[in-house]
Structure 1
Amino acid sequence: MTLLATLPGHDPAAPALAVSGLHVRLGRTGIVHGVDYAVEPGRTLAVLGESGSGKSVTARAVMGLIRPPTGAVTAGSVRLRGVDLLTLPEETRRRLRATTIAMVFQDALSALNPVLSVGYQIAELFRAHLGLSRKEAHRRAVEVLDLVRIPAAARRARDYPHQFSGGMRQRVGIGLAIALNPQVIIADEPTTALDVTVQAQILRLLGEIQREHGTALVLITHDMGVVADVADRVAVMYAGRVVEQGGAAELYARPAHPYTEALLGAIPRPQLRGQRLAVIPGAPPDPADPDPGCRFRPRCGYGTDACDQAPAALQIAAGRLAACHEWERVTA
């Protein structure tokens, strides 16, 4: 029996991960405001949005990596198969990290310890969480490196992060995340700064792991093309809030929020060769000086007097949510 199964509230039928009403501050500034999303086992939820929209802060809060004095979760719940992680002692959350929920960080070079070999770093997971001997842990670490397609894994296990290319370091980061077969993986921009060929390899690797183990994947990205290829559902974030959610195919075909529509309109397409690319005017709001109304209003072409009030997330169809007073005009 796993540790998670022994905790209060555990429900095998519950979503793999469900975030509800999450509020997070950094210092004195609110960054995340009432985020809600969920992902089922074996499924992929893509979290979209510009830099600064709160995607990574939400992920770090889910992982328990935002703590005083730098920041804090001020409200909400983070349920892993029904178990609210925010109510657990820190030692219990630490034991769940990597074994049940794991994260692939955006910058693999910064996430890896530069003075320890990659094999040692992976082996430490097996020693700390499973109590394996040094020799057995090293053997398992080599298996993990081989699983994530590191050539000559036994030899490369002795190498240090700076001896790997960006794509190979990202594979090592994925290896750290999957080593103990977690139920949920949060991948924060796992293909950023990688060339297109390596991006495809990384996404294919994550997909293979997901299919083999039934892992739920939360993919944080601003790459709309990546989302179209791999996501089952999409949550679009803007200024710390989820402004639209829905099935990937339906959301792409018929966006219900002006921000989602603008993001899709800015995707370069072959048929637009030689034409000026569409852009979203203006800039995201200052989180330290929030607008009391709709935060996308200064950049929106659908604004009305109703936008003086912040819109609530409305269920506009089965499985579709949109936080916009004018969603019917957007979808028309």
Structure 2
Amino acid sequence: MEKAKEEIIAELSSNEAKFEFEAKQLNQNLQDIIQNLNYSDILSYVFNSSTNGKIEVLKIPSNKQELIFKLATSDRPFALMKIGDISEWIKNKLSNYEIIEKFDNESIFRNLNNNEDISILMGSRSFYEGWDSNRPNIILFINIGKGTDAKKFVLQSIGRGVRIEPLPNKRSRAVYLYNNQEIDKDIFENIKDYIEPLESLFVFGTKADNLKEVIETLKQEKPEVLLGDLFEINPAVKDKDLLIPVYRDSDKIVVEEKDIVKYPIHRDDYEMVKDYFNYIGDKIALCKFDCDVRVLNKIKEGFNVHKNDYFIETKEQLKINNPEFLLQNIFKHFSNKTKEFQTFKKLDEEIIHFK
């Protein structure tokens, strides 16, 4: 560990350790923090544990894309893998690890922004587009090439890595927020010497020369034209108000609407939850799930007579294999109140892209 610290500090202290897109050096405080790190800090802040332990692998039922890693000495995971299909990876790479199946079907990746336990995210081109997160702070590219695909991959990955959010819904550096009086002075004074590394993206690669070449190419590319610059304001409507619709809660619930929003469900799950519902009967379902009688009667029709009026069956839908959980969600879905149009109002600050 001491050797690794020496190498990192030496690299950060060199004259080449500068920001790629800003003409300044890295704050010295980061080197001091690294110098003072010890093994217990790594266990605590990275692995969420106070002692050593074997790595355990957790598999989410019915989820073929995610694997969770934790130490046996901790109840909290430290890493997540998201790839196209975990089956082959488990077979070829994790044969010596114990695979433990979790009790719930909740996706960890989907809630990554709210899961502070996950320190390491691993994947193969599965999370560089289509998701938004302010958490990536270090990116390690393994065996990255130099072709067009590599450039696209690096560009989009870095685009996610540079996203910051010092305060909820405030995506600017802390110093700018402070200058705009959006951060209290005392708070800013306490964090100003330490926040720079958190607002920076550190990029590493096993093929450093390839990565450097890709980044240099990206820096030389012509900047994209901002989409907003391509629009012209129509003078005929320049001084007109922009009206937006206002909705209110309807007196009706979903199951009472003329055009019912159907519940999507896997075919096997439908048969399973239907059998479960018919087995427990109306009275037990009413007591167990505290459901609306109106919903109960309609769901009974959906399970026995008018299935297509209330359900959409597809093989593509995620298979849950939990009839009690499914029935609870079905009751909740059809008990929701819908929205109905009320009036129009002048646009105030409902739509703000940048501020």
Band of TM-score, shorter chain: under 0.3
Per residue, is there more strand in 1 or in 2? 1
Greater radius of gyration (CA): 2
Higher relative contact order structure (alpha carbons within 8 Å, sequence separation ≥ 6): 1
